[in-house]
Structure 1
Amino acid sequence: MKMGGRNSLLLVLLFAGFFNFSQATSVTSTEPHVLRSFRIKSDQTAVTAARSCSYTLTIKTSCSSTKYTRDRVSIAFGDAYGFEVYAPRLDNPSSRIFETCSTDTFQLRGPCTYEICYLNLLRVGSDGWKPESVKVYGPNRPLITFKFNKFLPNGVWFGFNHCRKVSGSVIV
């Protein structure tokens, strides 16, 4: 089948338009970013009481971070259905958590999630801290790693959101 020059050009333009449109609608980012509109979900109490799961977090502090931090560090992660695990304080200034080149492990309980698609950290204080990565192990879920390798800004949620909108309802 022979295509004319005009048809070939139209096909190329359609393909280019589709490619640009699909790229423009993507909301995921491979780099962590400030999330000024992020808010902790306050309606998780009933869900947590009904179905609670255990999570293991492994947080590696970058070798280019400050020697240690006394800053308050919070974490929130969850899925596209709104199930969220939140820990208001991971830090412990009297211990040696979040030292340069260290790896710290935490056990958290929270609502059972589907695939974890977002993770955010909040640092409040004056020392500074640069996490290299955060790994989350959950029940019946594959390990997921979020690579930060950036100093966290002070007083704002900072992280990743790879969630896609979910349509319909979910039975928990």
Structure 2
Amino acid sequence: MKTAVCFIVLCALISASSQARSIIKRPLPNPGFKINSANNQNEETCSFTVRIVTSCSSVPYTRDRISISFGDAYGTQVYAPRLDDPSARTFEPCSADTFDIYGPCTDQICSMYVYRSGYDGWLPTRVEVYGDTTRPVSFDYDEWIPAEMWYGYDYCSPYAVTTAARSSKTKINNEVKPEEV
């Protein structure tokens, strides 16, 4: 009997431990997100390829303004305003659009935010980033992007970066909406 009770307690602990580690990986709004508007002239410029897959369930076309920002654990951000272009049939359903973006070189990308401004709506499936100085990374969306807010992922751990390294790469953040740039 004692062995059975110990076995049940052990199974309960293992189950609770595995549930504590499972994190729901879905995009979230970030009302406090700020675009790094610091002048990056002194930084090395790197090339990134961003591939955005639009869901087959999305609207037939969108005239909404679509912007993205992605970054690393040191606070380095790459910002791409206005990726949309309705005349070029960007972000149509069942499509994949590829963009070449240049920005400051990053360490491993761990955050991705999308900003949508407009009334049409847009349903992306996935955003993938390939860069010169980082491993490829993919962020699954499969959710309608809400209007007028940064929406996405932040897996950047503040504990993954040492204080000395962080202070050497400190940026000045000011809030900027994509349409203000």
Question: Does the pair score TM above 0.5?
Answer: yes
Q: Which of the numbers 3, 8, 31 marks the counterpart of 2:26? A: 31
Which position in structure 2 is the counterpart of 1:129?
Answer: 122
Query: Is 1:86 the counterpart of 2:79 in the alignment?
Result: yes
Q: Deviations over 1:94-141 (max 9, x none)?
A: 210000001000000001000100000000001000000000001132
TM-score (normalised: structure 1): 0.82
Describe how 1:13-162 pairs up with structure 2 within 5 A.
19=17, 23=20, 29-43=24-38, 45-46=39-40, 48-162=41-155
Q: 1:67·1:99 contact (CA, 8 Å) conserved in 2?
A: yes
Paired with 1:133 and 1:63, the residues of 2 have a C-alpha distance of: 12
In the alignment, is residue 168 of structure 1 matched against residue 163 of structure 2?
A: yes
CA RMSD, 1 decimal? 2.7
Deviates more, 1:135-144 or 1:155-164: 135-144
Q: Which amino acid aligns with 2:70?
A: F
Q: Deviations over 1:134-158 (max 9, x none)?
A: 0000113221000001110011110
**Inter-partner Cα distance in structure 1 for 2:123 and 2:92:** 10
Deviation of 1:62 after TM superposition, in Å, equals 0.3
**Aligned residues of 2:61 and 2:86 also touching (Cα < 8 A):** no
Moved over 6 A (4+): none
TM-score normalised to structure 2 length: 0.78
- Specify the code of the residue in structure 2 equivalent to 1:128: G
- How big is each residue's C-alpha offset from its partner over 1:48-67, in whole Å with a ceiling of 9 and x where there is no partner? 54211000000000001111
Residue identity over aligned pairs, in percent, reads 42
Gaps of 5+ in 1: none
* 3-state secondary structure, aligned to 1:169: helix
| Structure 2 alignment gaps of length 5 or more | 170-181
